[in-house]
């Protein structure tokens, strides 16, 4: 008999004096529980154990196929099991069930990176609430998202799930997503806490990070999401941090998360078999997932042997009970299994359209004239990538393809090119080959790209108005992207060069769409096409959202949430980013002996706080192709009447924004702050607030408010374990990107100092990177616009 059903049996003998969850106090229930019962509540149930249907004290039990796991029910106390399912871009459950004629598809929303590109927290909250509603209506209690790790390096295989290289943008997006999800009465789980910035060796890797980089970069986004979103759950990551597993790290899970940030919910482990369960409980990790019965036994034994204080178990149990009481399962909610897909698809499409970033648009190539004749090249024009793989993948009912979306929008698609690609419709195989490009086919994928001769392209240029080329990239959980993935393949480059040369010779334009989940190299080719659009991975509506922007139905308002550098090696973290498993097989160009074993099993975050634009704009501004925060529009905006008000520690900046062009559009305002000379080295500018306008018609104006706290300007000083702000005149920079400051305002502030715990110290010195070492003693940033 399965574990769950055996747990149900005592139901018949329910003693009336046993306290019941919801009726009696949580403390009373904890007091009544045996050590065995307490220990079993902290350990999740494996899928095999959770197979039954039935009811516990009136709470319906339903196994949700494809969900990630459940918490243990305890009928004696009226405690139902609760169901947790992935993942950030929509609910991930199995779409079909054995012996069931109903289907359980979920809406695939744009991936996290694309949501961050909207810079629209209200919209992200709407997406969150749509996702939350699907979680509720499909009978789940918690969704395991949003993913909030920092884009430390462009090759992280899960960057698409995460928001940005900047902690403020990540934190605000995460908080909005959590608020949206939880507005539906289900829980969110911000993950993976913390410093889980790579997939390579993710289960063992030890992130060696300075206290300053942790406080300012890697923890900051989580802190914002905790304080402003109040998630029900936080997921502790797989990796180690400065020597100990995050799941066993009391300084992280209790001192920082709870004592400093005031977190009240539960901490759940990322899905690992057993680790040191006793250390996990001691650290404040309340729920071990997916759970093994032996873990409860370990807890019991440790308490009996005096290695674990039962009070620590009680604290976790109390938090578990409070969590369970919030769930729909506990409230006896009856799921409809019928979320409002039409409404949710509309939200997904709007979010995708707002997340698209226009990188270049020479001679107003876009929007495309109506009914243009289009030659659509590239397999991803016919096989749109809606999201990455792994926990972040959503089983969507459909995917809107670019080719069909063009036709539906009234464009005339070249049927010869279309038919050519139709011959290669086994795209599953193409994707597979593409992912394993180097391994399987030696940098050549057997796709139409290889067989498009100059003659063929010339004929297409003669009969079409424009060429659109779609390049895609797919990555996912478990592997980082190979370095080659950062660059166009030989085939892609040949296609791009041929199409540009031939179409331009015929007086036709070329547009490139990047259907990608992370940064790729653009420096060597961005001048070739007439327009480039980063379409990201827009979920099931991504194809039509891309066409919405290309057609001008929507003016682009997305902004890059990360820097696009000239080369991969421009990222300081490329010096110490572990190569993924493929490299160990010796089949990479960059697999030199020096690199091969460097940082194996650990990663020195040598670049410290110099992540993303903080590095590029301060030290290497000549290595930027498209800066953080960059994105074009079809219209123009005037910014005027900027004003600043400081009351106590809150700073309010107001700005008038007017649409001075000819298209209705939204505008993004980025507020950076530049510090005066300071004791600690500081980036030339750091994002402290941002806002997006509502849709402005041509000629229309609106007032924008941007708020931040003086405390937010502080840097972390490890010498005193404090956040310190030096007195002086700071410059508020109202900007359109980290490279384009449009207005400046002075802000004079006194010195501040806020002490925190001196915790999470690295166990060994972390090297200072060359760029910083050369400037030690005379802090002279070389960059800055
Ligand atoms: C992933 C998590 C996910 C969990 C449950 C893990 O492998 O890292 O992001 O939520 O599995 O599916």
pLDDT digits (tens, 9 = 90+) for 107-139: 999 999 999 999 999 999 999 999 999 999 999
In 3D space, the residue among 489, 510, 486, 492 whose CA is nearest the CA of residue 500 turns out to be 510
CA dist., res. 715 & res. 730, Å (int): 14
Long-range Cβ contacts of 636-644 (<8 Å, 24+ apart): 636/660, 636/661, 637/661, 637/665, 637/667, 637/696, 639/669, 639/734, 639/742, 639/743, 642/734, 642/743, 642/745, 643/745, 644/732, 644/745, 644/747
What is the reported pLDDT for 427? 47
The answer, yes or no, to whether residue 773 has pLDDT greater than 70, is no
What is the edge-to-edge ordering of all strands in the sheet holding 668-674? 686-692, 668-674, 728-737, 740-749
* Interval 555-560 mean pLDDT: 98
Residue located nearest, by CA, to atom 3 of ligand 1: 391
- pTM listed for this prediction: 0.94
Task: Enter the DSSP assignment of 64.
Answer: -
What is the reported pLDDT for 732? 98
What is the reported pLDDT for 450? 67
The answer, yes or no, to whether residue 10 has pLDDT greater than 70, is no
Q: What confidence tens digit (pLDDT) does each residue in 21-72 have? A: 999 999 999 999 999 999 999 999 855 555 555 555 555 666 799 999 999 9
User: 111 C-alpha to center of ligand 1: Å?
Assistant: 16
Question: Going by C-beta distance under 8 Å and a sequence separation of 6 or more, which residues neighbour residue 690?
Answer: 119, 168, 169, 172, 668, 669, 670, 671, 706
For ligand 1, mutation pick of 44, 46, 47, 68 (most atoms within 8 Å of CB): 68
Q: What confidence tens digit (pLDDT) does each residue in 210-259 have? A: 999 999 999 999 999 999 999 999 999 999 999 999 999 999 999 999 99
Q: Looking at the CA of residue 392, tell me the nearest atom of ligand 1.
A: 9
Question: Is any atom of ligand 1 closer than 6 Å to the C-beta of 393?
Answer: no
User: 394 C-alpha to center of ligand 1: Å?
Assistant: 13
Residue located nearest, by CA, to atom 12 of ligand 1: 68
Q: Looking at the CA of residue 147, tell me the nearest atom of ligand 1.
A: 9
Q: What confidence tens digit (pLDDT) does each residue in 625-677 have? A: 999 999 999 999 999 999 999 998 899 999 999 999 999 999 999 999 999 98
User: 274 C-alpha to center of ligand 1: Å?
Assistant: 15
In 3D space, the residue among 292, 291, 222 whose CA is nearest the CA of residue 253 turns out to be 222
Q: Looking at the CA of residue 191, tell me the nearest atom of ligand 1.
A: 9
Q: In the CATH hierarchy, which fold is given to the domain comprising 637-750?
A: Immunoglobulin-like (2.60.40)
CA dist., res. 51 & res. 67, Å (int): 12
The answer, yes or no, to whether residue 5 has pLDDT greater than 50, is no
What is the reported pLDDT for 91? 98
User: 405 C-alpha to center of ligand 1: Å?
Assistant: 33
Question: Is any atom of ligand 1 closer than 6 Å to the C-beta of 271?
Answer: yes
For ligand 1, mutation pick of 231, 477, 480 (most atoms within 8 Å of CB): 477
What is the reported pLDDT for 381? 92
Q: What confidence tens digit (pLDDT) does each residue in 84-101 have? A: 999 899 999 999 998 999
What is the edge-to-edge ordering of all strands in the sheet holding 602-604? 244-245, 240-241, 206-208, 602-604
Q: Where are the chain's structural domains?
A: 1-80+305-326, 345-565, 637-750
Q: What confidence tens digit (pLDDT) does each residue in 510-534 have? A: 999 999 999 999 999 999 999 999 9
The answer, yes or no, to whether residue 172 has pLDDT greater than 70, is yes
Q: Looking at the CA of residue 145, tell me the nearest atom of ligand 1.
A: 10
For ligand 1, mutation pick of 69, 85, 92, 144 (most atoms within 8 Å of CB): 144
User: 86 C-alpha to center of ligand 1: Å?
Assistant: 7
Question: Is any atom of ligand 1 closer than 6 Å to the C-beta of 457?
Answer: no
How is residue 259 written in tokens? 């004592």
What is the reported pLDDT for 263? 98
User: 391 C-alpha to center of ligand 1: Å?
Assistant: 6
Residue located nearest, by CA, to atom 11 of ligand 1: 271
User: 381 C-alpha to center of ligand 1: Å?
Assistant: 30
Asked if 389 and 431 touch (Cβ cutoff 8 Å), the reply is no
What is the reported pLDDT for 273? 79
List 206, 270, 548, 726, catalytic entry? 270
Residue located nearest, by CA, to atom 9 of ligand 1: 391
Question: Is any atom of ligand 1 closer than 6 Å to the C-beta of 270?
Answer: yes
Asked if 146 and 188 touch (Cβ cutoff 8 Å), the reply is yes
Asked if 670 and 172 touch (Cβ cutoff 8 Å), the reply is no
Question: Is any atom of ligand 1 closer than 6 Å to the C-beta of 216?
Answer: no
Question: Catalytic: 270?
Answer: yes
Return the CATH number of the domain spanning residue range 345-565: 3.40.50.1700
């Amino acid at each position: 008999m399965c574990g769950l059903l055996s747990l149900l049996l005592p139901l018949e003998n329910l003693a009336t004096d046993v306290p019941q969850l919801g009726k009696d106090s949580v403390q009373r229930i904890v007091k009544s529980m045996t050590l065995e019962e307490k220990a079993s509540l902290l350990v999740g149930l494996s899928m095999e154990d959770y197979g039954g249907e039935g009811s516990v004290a009136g709470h319906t039990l339903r196994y949700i196929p494809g969900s990630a796991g459940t918490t243990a029910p305890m009928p004696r106390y009226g405690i139902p099991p609760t169901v947790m399912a992935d993942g950030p871009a929509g609910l991930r459950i199995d779409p079909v069930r054995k012996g069931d004629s109903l289907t359980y598809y979920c809406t695939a929303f744009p991936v996290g990176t694309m949501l961050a590109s909207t810079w629209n927290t209200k919209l992200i909250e709407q997406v969150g609430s749509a996702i939350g509603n699907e979680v509720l209506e499909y009978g789940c209690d918690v969704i395991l998202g949003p993913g909030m790790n920092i884009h430390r390096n462009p090759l992280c295989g899960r960057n698409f799930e995460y928001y940005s290289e900047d902690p403020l943008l990540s934190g605000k997006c995460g908080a909005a997503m959590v608020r949206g999800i939880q507005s539906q009465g289900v829980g969110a789980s911000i993950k993976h806490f913390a410093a889980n910035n790579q997939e390579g060796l993710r289960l063992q890797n030890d992130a060696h990070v300075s206290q300053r980089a942790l406080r300012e970069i890697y923890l900051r986004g989580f802190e914002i999401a905790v304080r402003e979103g109040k998630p029900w759950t936080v997921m502790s990551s797989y990796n180690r941090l400065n020597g100990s597993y995050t799941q066993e790290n009391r300084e992280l899970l209790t001192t920082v998360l709870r004592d400093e940030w005031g977190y009240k919910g539960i901490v759940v482990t990322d899905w690992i078999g057993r680790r040191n369960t006793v250390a996990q409980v001691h650290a404040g990790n309340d729920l071990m997932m997916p759970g093994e019965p032996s873990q409860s036994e370990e807890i019991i034994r440790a308490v009996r042997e005096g290695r674990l204080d039962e009070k620590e178990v009680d604290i976790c149990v109390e938090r578990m009970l409070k969590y369970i009481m919030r769930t729909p399962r506990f409230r006896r909610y009856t799921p409809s299994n019928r979320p409002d897909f039409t409404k949710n698809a509309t939200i997904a499409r709007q979010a995708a359209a707002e997340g698209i970033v226009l990188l270049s648009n020479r001679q107003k190539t876009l929007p495309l004239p109506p009914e243009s004749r289009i030659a659509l090249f590239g397999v991803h024009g016919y096989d749109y990538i809606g999201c990455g793989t792994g926990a972040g993948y959503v089983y969507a009912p459909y995917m809107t393809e670019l080719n069909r979306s063009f036709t539906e929008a009234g464009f005339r698609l070249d049927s010869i090119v279309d038919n050519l690609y139709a011959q290669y419709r086994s795209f599953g195989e193409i994707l597979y080959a593409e992912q394993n490009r180097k391994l399987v086919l030696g940098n050549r994928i057997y796709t139409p790209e290889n067989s498009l001769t100059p003659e063929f392209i010339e004929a297409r240029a003669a009969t079409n108005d424009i060429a659109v080329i779609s390049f895609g990239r797919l990555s996912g959980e478990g592997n980082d992207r190979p370095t080659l993935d950062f660059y166009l393949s030989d085939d892609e480059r040949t296609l791009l060069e041929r199409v540009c040369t031939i179409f331009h010779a015929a007086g036709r334009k070329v547009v490139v769409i990047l259907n990608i989940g992370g940064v790729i190299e653009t420096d060597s080719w961005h001048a070739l096409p007439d327009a480039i659009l980063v379409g990201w991975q827009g979920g099931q509506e991504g194809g039509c959202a891309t066409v919405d922007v290309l057609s001008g139905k929507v003016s682009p308002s997305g902004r890059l949430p990360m820097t696009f550098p000239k080369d991969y090696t421009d990222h300081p973290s490329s010096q110490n980013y572990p190569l993924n498993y493929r490299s160990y097989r010796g089949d990479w160009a960059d697999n030199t002996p020096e690199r091969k074993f460097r940082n194996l099993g650990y990663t020195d975050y040598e670049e410290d706080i110099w992540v993303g634009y903080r590095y590029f704009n301060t030290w290497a501004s000549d290595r930027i192709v498209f800066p953080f925060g960059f994105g074009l529009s079809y219209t123009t905006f005037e910014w005027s009447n900027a004003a600043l008000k400081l009351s106590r520690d809150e700073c309010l900046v107001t700005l008038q924004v007017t649409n001075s062009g000819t298209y209705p559009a939204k505008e993004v305002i980025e507020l950076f702050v530049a510090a005066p000379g300071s004791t600690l080295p500081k980036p030339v500018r750091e994002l402290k607030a941002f806002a997006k306008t509502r849709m402005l018609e041509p000629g229309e104006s609106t007032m924008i408010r941007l708020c931040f706290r003086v405390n937010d300007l502080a840097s972390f000083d490890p010498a005193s374990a404090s956040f310190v702000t030096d007195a002086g005149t700071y410059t508020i920079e109202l900007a359109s990107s980290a490279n384009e400051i449009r207005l400046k305002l002075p802000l004079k502030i006194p010195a501040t100092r806020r002490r925190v715990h001196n915790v999470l110290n690295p166990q060994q010195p972390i090297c200072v990177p060359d760029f910083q070492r050369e400037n030690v003693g005379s802090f002279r940033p070389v960059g800055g616009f």
